[in-house]
Chains A and B, each alone.
Chain A
Amino acid sequence: MRKVKWIFFGYLAVVGALVVGIALSFASVSARDPDTLYIVYISDIKSLDPAEISDVPSSRIAGNLFECLYNYDYYKRPYELISELATALPEISKDGLEYTIHLRKGIHFYDPDGAVWPGKTGPEVKAKDFIYAWKRVLDFHLPNPNAAIFDAVVGADEWQKYTEDTKDESKIDWDRPIAGFEATDDYTIRIKLKEPFPQLVYALAHLPSAPMSREAVDKYKKKTRQHPVGTGPYSLSYNDHLQQQRILLKRNPIYRGGPMVDPGTPVAAKDRLPKMDRIQFEFFEEDLPPWYVFREGLFDYHGIPKDAYGQAIRTGTELTPELVKQGVTLVKEPEPSIYYYGFNMQDPLVGKNKSLRQAMCMAFNRDQFIATFRNGRGMRPVGPIVPGFPTFDPNLKNPYAEFNLEAALEKMKEAVRVNGGEPIPTIRLLLPGSDTTFRQMGDFVQRNMAQIGVTLDVDYTNWANFLEQVEKKKTAQFYQLGWNTDWPDEQNILQLFWSKNISEGGLNSSNYANAEFDKLYEQAKVMSDSPERRELYKKMQAIVNEDCPWMGMFYPMDFALQHRWLKNFKLVDYVHGWMANLEIDKELRKQGLPRG
């Protein structure tokens, strides 16, 4: 009898102790470390192995750990190439088929765990490390999406074929040569191309082309993606992104002080990179909690969540008074990207009815769309070529990119005629998500199209399902997609219209095929930058604009909020390792947020 009572009281004591324990834990909460930069991450990262990286979140982190032959200047716009591990821009042969690149000497790999090299400092980076990394990019067995950057290299296809034929990954002979990649000596690389590929130099500034140490990869094998061994300004100190929680980067002690600096050259302390000792990335999946954490001043800047565009900002580009009072400032930069609604050109309805597409394009009120969903943080697109590119012309006249209801209704008559006089059946719009923003966007387009008598059935699905329908089965009729350019060259975006890219999983997801476009594309593809090439690009854009395989939505504008103590913060694209420039005003941060 009595025992039961004591069990109960004993249990209550345990509960009490638990509560007290949790309460006591608040006593030992440590404040933010003054030498650490705190960055919130709302998207997850996929990998830290450059060969596998194709997403922005992963490359932002890995960009601090690896370096490439080239990089872009963090501060200069338009983007300007700088030589990072190379001594200078490549020497290109007359026919544009042979590139010769010289490497900086005395740069070493750094292994933060000391697992590959006990002394942590690895061997010097040599030409073979680049060639090894590039072979990996072309390895069939790695789920890597970057193989296309070396498509033009002599022998790349054979190597890919060879890796595919070698069923057992471990049997791949990494010493097997690729004709196009040649290390003439330890510090010189010669690249041979089948056809001119002027974008190669951009590709060599692209993170997947970073040199890899074969010893490190052999050591970590499949876990390479969690154990980056590179030459960048930071090294990985604590990686718990599997727990979706945090990644801590620490200063690379053997980093030479700047991308353009040769090892051994002294750098003034104030110019020395990286500026901060540590960067801590904290991962969140939901938007609301990290927003609160940022508002508490615990994160130094906050890239406004992609689904919450404009929530933090009152109208247009104006901050809410509350944020202004707290000294938060808004950083903005146009992104070299485009979002669009794609038509499936193989679809018997929308693909075969150009007038219908044109009518729909004219019925879509982009300005209102941008105002509603982007709070003005976007530009009305005039064509596939995005801002910041040499041939971008914001004043380009494109009748199908402008909202014009009368013209649209006029076009609809034609569209109905093309459809055999029958009214246009319901069109299915596929959206790759079902959250608030997608739902509201779906509603918006639906209402726009209803004005010209086109009924849209909006279908919300997840990303995987979306890709399956758009790229695999090609059953999507009308869908929403975007394109982030890889480098500031028009070819990178115009390839999405090349008919040779129509294939299962191919880049030409709207299955657009136009003989004239193809002819111009293949012509421009092999040309180096020149006024003639720019002319070709403009012509190609005009063809696409007339055919309307896309209904452009907007060119996005990148926004971020920063606290007043963060210095040198700029929103960038293409650049890797830029976080080394960020600096904290320790005094200001210590003061915290102004109250009021």
Chain B
Amino acid sequence: MSSAATPAAVDTVMGAVALSERPRSLWRDAMARLHTRKLNYVYASVLAIYALVAIIAFTPLLGKSVFDAQVGAQYAPPAFTGTVEQGTANEHSTIRPSLWLGTDIAGRSVLYKLLYGTRVALTVSLLASILSVVIGTVLGLLAGYYRGWVDALITWLYTTINSIPWILLMVALAYALKDREFKMFGQEFKLVGIPSIVMALGLTSWVGLCRLMRGEVLKHRERDYVAAAKAVGAGTSRIIFRHILPNTFHLVIIDFTLGIVSFVQAEVILSFLGLGVKDQPSWGVMIDDAKLELMRNVWWQFAGATAAIFGLSICLNFLGDALRDALDPRLRGVD
């Protein structure tokens, strides 16, 4: 016990313990630790750029009319400049960002498609990550806190799901959910594109977090601060959400961050299997399309989409690592 070693003199009534200038919550400590590595700011800014592009893609600035417009010849290779107003007297060459990454089969700008794809990638992975994290957290909390048959049921559920190889389950679910119509609350719903992918990814990926949460909650519910909260008459929901959840929340954050990476990658697999997004460009679809284009040595769409995924994944990975180091006390002191 470290407190036992505290010099007695320090523990006076006046509390002369050397306290820092500002109160240090564990979150603040974590932020401070993140702050010490300046590279983290690089990752964060790149992520911010991705997010910004995704947000712009929701506006008409990068809407369907932009990525869908024909900007050049079929499969024009990347070029810095291009001719505008062809065939008119005003024909001249100028810098054309739309041609920087070449064009696709329909003469559309690969760069614009790529930028728009950020929206799809981030939407899919954020929503799927939220879905998976919410399910995992809630079930983990319930199982760990209530124990008994609730725990038995949830443990059974996740052991079962865990026994089905993830890729099989995800593919089966994506296949089954694709374009399905169902009735709920007297209304017809149709799962097209993003919702069905989000569900397939989210519903199959919560097990890891749930198991982790359950273990942590089991540990925390035996801690004295929970007993103290009970003793002062705090209700179950207060104990779970004010006490246990904040103490396990770092797991959620780490899982959320790393979840996004795996979902961006999973979207490529689903696109390959024809279960991906349609009607709008996504990185997975672009890589899938590239399989044919490479027969003609059209590499730009492939390279662009791969690079986009690479950039996003690497920032999230490094930031996720940094977050894990900063938040997970178990790993503290290792790095």
- Residues in B neighbouring A444, C-beta threshold 8 A: 106
Please measure, in the bound complex, the distance between the C-alpha atom of A286 and the C-alpha atom of B292, giving whole angstroms.
9
Which 7 pairs show the lowest CB-CB distances between chains A and B? A436-B289, A311-B295, A434-B274, A288-B291, A308-B292, A291-B295, A311-B296
Find A440's partner among B105, B276, B295 (CB 8 Å cutoff): B105
- The answer to whether A460 and B278 have CB atoms under 8 Å apart is yes
B91: Cβ under 8 A from any A Cβ = no
A461-B179 in contact given A433-B274, A439-B285, A443-B68 (Cβ < 8 Å) = yes
Please measure, in the bound complex, the distance between the C-alpha atom of A227 and the C-alpha atom of B74, giving whole angstroms.
47
Interface size on B, residues (CB 8 A): 18
A-facing mask of B161-201, CB < 8 A → 1, else 0? Answer: 00000000000000000010000000000000000000000
- Residues in B neighbouring A440, C-beta threshold 8 A: 105-106
A-facing mask of B24-39, CB < 8 A → 1, else 0? Answer: 0000000000000000
- Residues in A neighbouring B294, C-beta threshold 8 A: 288
Give the contact-size bracket for chain A: 20 to 34
A287-B295 in contact given A435-B274, A459-B179, A461-B179 (Cβ < 8 Å) = yes
Please measure, in the bound complex, the distance between the C-alpha atom of A434 and the C-alpha atom of B288, giving whole angstroms.
11
Report the nearest A residue to B193, measured CB to CB.
A460
- The answer to whether B296 and A320 have CB atoms under 8 Å apart is yes
A426: Cβ under 8 A from any B Cβ = no
Please measure, in the bound complex, the distance between the C-alpha atom of A148 and the C-alpha atom of B106, giving whole angstroms.
42
- Residues in B neighbouring A372, C-beta threshold 8 A: 74, 105-106
Please measure, in the bound complex, the distance between the C-alpha atom of A311 and the C-alpha atom of B301, giving whole angstroms.
15
B-facing mask of A396-440, CB < 8 A → 1, else 0? Answer: 000000000000000000000000000000000000011111011
A312: Cβ under 8 A from any B Cβ = yes
B279: Cβ under 8 A from any A Cβ = yes
Please measure, in the bound complex, the distance between the C-alpha atom of A268 and the C-alpha atom of B292, giving whole angstroms.
45
Please measure, in the bound complex, the distance between the C-alpha atom of A593 and the C-alpha atom of B266, giving whole angstroms.
40
B: which residues have CB within 8 A of A? 68, 74, 105-106, 179, 274, 276, 278-279, 285, 288-289, 291-296
Given A288-B292, A437-B292, 7 extra CB contacts under 8 A: A291-B295, A311-B296, A442-B278, A442-B279, A459-B179, A460-B278, A465-B179
- The answer to whether A458 and B105 have CB atoms under 8 Å apart is no
Please measure, in the bound complex, the distance between the C-alpha atom of A447 and the C-alpha atom of B179, giving whole angstroms.
22
Max chain B C-beta neighbours (<10 A), residue from A433, A462, A465: A462
Report the nearest A residue to B107, measured CB to CB.
A372
Query: Which residues in window 294-341 of A have CB below 8 A to B?
Result: 307-308, 311-312, 320
Report the nearest A residue to B274, measured CB to CB.
A434
- The answer to whether A458 and B279 have CB atoms under 8 Å apart is yes
Please measure, in the bound complex, the distance between the C-alpha atom of A465 and the C-alpha atom of B176, giving whole angstroms.
11
Please measure, in the bound complex, the distance between the C-alpha atom of A311 and the C-alpha atom of B295, giving whole angstroms.
6
Query: Which residues in window 445-462 of A have CB below 8 A to B?
Result: 447, 458-462
Report the nearest A residue to B273, measured CB to CB.
A434
Please measure, in the bound complex, the distance between the C-alpha atom of A131 and the C-alpha atom of B296, giving whole angstroms.
51
- Residues in B neighbouring A433, C-beta threshold 8 A: 274
